[in-house]
Amino acid sequence: MTRSKVFVTRTIPAAGLDLIRAACDVDLWPDELPPPRAALIERVRGVDGLLCLLTDPVDAAVMDAAGPGLRVISNHAVGFDNIDVAAATARGIPVGNTPGILTDATADFAFALLMAAARRVAEGDRFVRAGRWRTWGPELLLGPDVHGATLGLIGFGRIGQAVARRAAGFEMRILYFDPTAPAADPALRAEAVNLETLLREADFVSLHVPLTPQTRGLLNRETLALMKPGAILINTARGPVVDPAALAEALREGRLFAAALDVTDPEPIPPDSPLLTLDNCLIVPHIASASIATRRKMSLMAAQNLIAGLQGEPLPHCVNPEAYR
Ligand code: GLV
């Protein structure tokens, strides 16, 4: 029996890669950087399966370059805004993602950013390394309290709710805005509010929505202006949910106390971004799910989706089951 041919767009953790190698003929993009578009189009020609990352835009042209043999696209991420899912569905191609397994790691990290931004952890580290720590200072690097503050969660799916569970331990009041979420578990003691109320009342606003036409630019000049003076914004969702110019303005003018960003628009953040000049903006390179165990599980789930698709079986985690109809 001939083995399926797959293109894997980056080296993923060995657990998943070994599984794929045992089942398929693998063409692996070896570089640290993603394949440029022309290389992606070239390398997918004639493949049966594609395992891609959130850094790889996979649109109709990529699918057509692969040709009619392409039976599955497996994204090594829970988010799948890099894939034209409608185009995949139209071609009968199931698309897989990696939900659930990264919920807790991402929620842990959102909370780490929240605390770091409030209590100025990165600034403190820069201060010490710059040789500026001369004594204990009664007003040195002060920030707002986390415990007892109001947390506004925009998006109350798996990750938003996991952040709420952590916030409960800090005795925070929890508000959420999510028109699509089912009623919240009463044990979370989270209150559904509209977006304006959330922005006006929250001391911390944390984003947990997918990137869609509805959420692109959701935090813009107008909505940022509604935020409580001195509030803190945390983004572990997708960069384009926040308008970077409007955020830089709000931070520079001191209307917001700080922001903590795991994701930016674009990624990586351009070296001349005004956000990089602001001490009250903490920026890390899209690592919220980057725990050792979580990335291993993601590689396994992405491999299982890929292999199931190649074998003509339903993907364990499929974002477009309608592709099978
Ligand atoms: C990371 O951002 C993911 O979508 O898994």
CA of 293 to the centre of ligand 1 (A): 15
Q: Of the residues 289, 295, 298, 305, which should be mutated to test ligand 1's pocket, given the most ligand atoms within 8 Å of the CB?
A: 289
**Average of pLDDT values for 295-303?**
98
Residue 185's pLDDT band (cuts 50, 70, 90): confident
Phi, psi of 177 (to 5 degrees): -125, 120
Q: Is the pLDDT of residue 127 over 70?
A: yes
What's the pTM value of the predicted model, to 2 decimals?
Answer: 0.97
Please tell me whether residues 314 and 266 are part of one structural domain: no
Q: Is the pLDDT of residue 99 over 80?
A: yes
Please tell me whether residues 220 and 256 are part of one structural domain: yes
Q: Return d(Cα 261, Cα 33) in angstroms, integer.
A: 21
Nearest CA to ligand 1 atom 3: 77
Phi, psi of 195 (to 5 degrees): -60, -40
Q: State the pLDDT at residue 202.
A: 99
Please tell me whether residues 196 and 312 are part of one structural domain: no
Verify whether ligand 1 is closer than 6 Å to residue 79 (CB atom): yes
Q: Are 237 and 151 in contact (CB under 8 A)?
A: no
Verify whether ligand 1 is closer than 6 Å to residue 304 (CB atom): no
Please tell me whether residues 193 and 74 are part of one structural domain: no
Please tell me whether residues 126 and 167 are part of one structural domain: yes
Q: State the pLDDT at residue 166.
A: 98
What whole-number percentage of the chain has pLDDT above 90? 96
Q: Is the pLDDT of residue 325 over 90?
A: no
Q: Is the pLDDT of residue 272 over 80?
A: yes
Please tell me whether residues 300 and 172 are part of one structural domain: no
Q: State the pLDDT at residue 104.
A: 98
CA of 78 to the centre of ligand 1 (A): 5
Please tell me whether residues 118 and 56 are part of one structural domain: no
Please tell me whether residues 247 and 123 are part of one structural domain: yes
Q: With CA atoms as reference, report the closest residue to 52 among 10, 101, 5, 100.
A: 10
Please tell me whether residues 131 and 218 are part of one structural domain: yes
Amino acid letter for position 68: P
What are the catalytic residues? Answer: 238, 267, 286
CA of 161 to the centre of ligand 1 (A): 17
Q: Is the pLDDT of residue 310 over 70?
A: yes
**Average of pLDDT values for 158-181?**
96
Please tell me whether residues 117 and 70 are part of one structural domain: no
Residue 182's pLDDT band (cuts 50, 70, 90): confident
Long-range contacts, stretch 29-35, CB < 8 angstroms, 24+ apart: 34/9, 34/10, 35/9
> What's the whole-number average pLDDT of the chain?
97
Q: What is the count of structural domains for the chain?
A: 2
Please tell me whether residues 145 and 229 are part of one structural domain: yes
- Condensed to tens digits (0 to 9), the pLDDT of residues 218-254 reads 999 999 999 999 999 999 999 999 999 999 999 999 9
Q: State the pLDDT at residue 136.
A: 98
Any idea what the CATH number is for the domain that residue 205 is in?
3.40.50.720
Q: State the pLDDT at residue 1.
A: 61
Nearest CA to ligand 1 atom 5: 77
Domain that holds residue 10: 4-101+292-324
Beta bridge partners of 283: 261
Residue 21's pLDDT band (cuts 50, 70, 90): very high
Please tell me whether residues 177 and 252 are part of one structural domain: yes
Exposure on the CB side of residue 289, measured as CA atoms within 13 A = 21
